[in-house]
Amino acid sequence: MGGARLAKQQARRARGLHAVCLGFFSDIAAGWGDWGAMSNFAVALLCYLVVGFGLLVRAQDPQSFDAFGADVHEHHGGQIRGYLWCGAGVFGLWLLQCLRVVWADNTRGLTSSYCVVYDIMTEGKIVTHAVLLALAGLSLVHYFFATLLLLDIINFNENLANVVKAATRPYRALLWTLFLFLVVILIYAAFGMYFFGDDFRGADDYDDVRTCTNLLQCFAQIASQGIRTPEELAMRGLLNSEDGYLTRMAFDVTFFIIVGALLFNMVTGIIVDTFGELREASKEHAEYLANNCFVCGVSREQLEEPGVGGVIFDFDRHNDEEHNLWAYVYFINYLSRKDPLDYNGVESDVHAKIVAHDTSWFPIKRWVRQQEVERRLQMGGELTEEQRELRALRQNVERLAKLVEDSSAAAKHDREARSKPNEAK
């Protein structure tokens, strides 16, 4: 009997494993329909492979195709391995993101679990602590990695965090500016190679070595030397009596103006503007939270001015007692942990709205003490002496405003009546 029971349990487990596997592949088949999320990834991967193949072809010995593998391994193995490892890291992370987009609408199976794990692991603080943990481990191998742990100070200072955000948030604009940098440098490299190719020389002891024999070398020379010191392009100096002096002067001056002044100031302007926007947004956010109730949205001014019945409410007491934010958080957590069969009517209604992402159950512009005052006024309840005086004063002001409005209307009517006989004459 024991053996038969064990065999049944093993068969049940096997069927469960098969069901999980089939469910996983069915989720893939059902969710793999959003090819738009993978198109950019596929194109970039194809370009990466084409460039890698081009590097391999260039690295081979043109006189001996049989020695292709040995030649690559001997002379260019390190560069190619670095290229492959870099590509594997970049495209691996990109693939994980694409899978998250493709399976975004799946709510069951392992694909849904993948989305949950991806969202947790890509949360900002989780990624930060994972990077710090990796750096701490690498510091055991190479001590200089330990110095990078000091960058954790950014997480403890809001001003430093805003500075970093100002440099990383406008990444699209900065990338386009970098692309413009490369285009301008390529243009100057082409013109410099054609007109001043012999003027590009090495530094110090290598001043007799020409460093611009092809467009790639000229591009690398100008990108390395020109961006760091736009006034010096690693070109030999010319006397004002030499031929081509004016052309060379125009080349150097325009490069300094375009690259050294305009493009660098574009980058600085983008970062400074973003920093100003972040500072203003942070200031407005802090002021809004300090002067507005997070739950009902009523402002401090609206609460502390005489309202219905002349009653003045305390904003700080309202935030701490009536509409405490954490009380709502605990209530939502309470509903998530409670059995739905044990819900009462109110809890069932609130839970249904939470599931539907409906926030209408929040008391927008309403709070308990205001409702009590209104109810007491409707029922003719007793008010304090100050409340009665304020109520009477408000009624007198409203009555006086009504009299002024009626008098103005009567005077206007009389003027119109007098003007009609004059027009008839």
pLDDT in tens, 120-144: 888 878 888 888 899 999 999 988 8
Average pLDDT score over residue span 32-57: 73
Q: Which residues of 190-200 are buried (b: 16+ CB within 10 A; e: fewer)?
A: eebbeebbebb
Give the model's pLDDT for residue 137: 92
Q: Alpha-carbon distance 94 to 88, whole Å?
A: 10
How much of the chain, in percent, has pLDDT values that exceed 70? Answer: 70
Residues in CB range of 319: below 8 A, 6 or more apart: 293, 294
Distance, in Å, from the CA atom of 267 to the CA atom of 178, rounded to the nearest integer, reads: 9
CA distance 324 to 296: 10
Residue 189: the pLDDT is 86
At 237, is the pLDDT very low, low, confident or very high (cuts 50, 70, 90)?
low
Residue 70: what pLDDT? 46
Most confident of 40-44, 73-77, 270-274, 385-389: 270-274
Token readout for 16 is 């469960």
Q: Do 343 and 351 form a contact (C-beta atoms < 8 A)?
A: yes
More confident residue, 324 or 396: 324
> Across all residues in the chain, what is the average pLDDT?
75
**In angstroms, how far is CA 265 from the centroid of its own chain?**
24
Q: What is the DSSP track for 132-172?
A: HHHHHHHHTT-GGGGGGGGGGGGGG-HHHHHHHHHHHTTHH
Joined together, the tokens standing for residue 151 give: 């960058």
- What is the 8-class DSSP label of residue 307? -
Evaluate if residue 274 carries a pLDDT over 50: yes
For the cut 70, the answer to whether the pLDDT of residue 96 exceeds it is yes
pTM of the model: 0.54
Residue 408 CB burial class (10 angstroms; 0-12, 13-18, ≥19): exposed
What does the pLDDT read at residue 98? Answer: 83
pLDDT at residue 30, as a whole number: 47
DSSP string, 162-184: HHHHHHHTTHHHHHHHHHHHHHH
283/275 Cα distance (integer angstroms): 12
Give me the helices (H) in 205-291, please: 215-221, 227-228, 245-255, 264-291
Give dist(CA 200, CA 223) in Å, integer.
13
Q: Which amino acid is at 243?
A: D
Residue 93 tokens read as: 């992370």
Q: Is the pLDDT of residue 28 over 60?
A: no
Looking at the predicted structure, is the pLDDT value of residue 175 above 80?
Answer: yes
- Provide the pLDDT confidence category of residue 220 given band limits of 50, 70 and 90: confident
Spans of all domains in the chain: 34-115, 174-289, 300-401
Rounded Cα gap, residues 102 and 28, in angstroms = 9
Tell me the pLDDT band of 68, cut-offs 50, 70 and 90.
very low
